[in-house]
Amino acid sequence: MVLYLLQLEATLVNCTNLQLKNGFDHPSHHYHFELVCERRSCRRKVKANVAYDTWVPFPLNEDDDSDSFEEYNSDSSFDEDEYEAEKLERKELINILRKNIPNVHFSHSCECGNIMWVIMKLGYGSPLKVPKQDDETPDIDPGISYEPGLTTTMVAFDVAGAEPINYQMGGGWQVDMVGGSVSRTFQGVDLSDVNVNLQDGEEVKLERPVLIMSPKASFLLFEN
């Protein structure tokens, strides 16, 4: 099975266990991203909103709303026989999918006639953690925990007919402070900015700076 893994990367300063509230596998959390139609003559984009506890039926519309041959062949790279063959192959595939996959987490019928769908897979994600260091590993600063370029998997998606891109980081994150005299978990963290300073909005000055730097997400093609 080929899946798309949603990867999280960030540099953590004096914090660890960066994850969405209630964890990446929480069934009611919504993942927002875009899908790009896989047909090379199309490449239209559509916004996807996927949650594990939200299922939708596989598209059942039998009408063929695909582009005409002239629209499909806008780049003059196909002949009409190739167009009709792909159209027939697509219909046969859709009929097979409808019999075996009655429900999915997201589906969309593209204007070109292609059908995109997504099934979310749980059990692949884990918080973004600072790795344990042995006693011989020197710190940059004894009072600072700085871990650049950490990466973890958030969740996996089985995607057909499209390629996922542009996951929206947004809010709803949580992270634990490292060090200091009092343990602390920051809730409702927003990762929309390039750098997130968790001192902002705090009435009392923190014992040490707590930063999430350069958070970003990407999709990695993975063959299970």
- pLDDT at residue 64 is higher than 80: no
- pLDDT at residue 136 is higher than 60: no
Alpha-carbon distance of 213 to 83, in angstroms, equals 48
7 vs 64, higher pLDDT: 7
Backbone φ, ψ for residue 204 (5° rounding): -105, 135
Least confident of 93-102, 110-119, 143-152, 166-175: 93-102
Which range of residues forms the domain containing residue 166?
A: 2-223
- For residues 118 and 104, is the Cβ–Cβ distance under 8 A? yes
pLDDT digits (tens, 9 = 90+) for 139-164: 444 457 788 899 999 999 999 889 99
Alpha-carbon distance of 169 to 67, in angstroms, equals 34
Burial of 28 (0-12, 13-18, 19+ CB in 10 A): exposed
Give the count of domains, the chain.
Answer: 1
Cβ neighbours, 10 Å, residue 187: 9
The pLDDT value recorded for residue 76 is 47
The pLDDT value recorded for residue 213 is 94
pLDDT digits (tens, 9 = 90+) for 168-222: 999 999 999 987 777 889 999 999 988 999 888 776 788 888 999 999 999 999 9
- For residues 195 and 38, is the Cβ–Cβ distance under 8 A? no
The pLDDT value recorded for residue 14 is 92
pTM: 0.79
Give the confidence band of 96 by pLDDT, cuts at 50, 70, 90. low
The pLDDT value recorded for residue 94 is 66
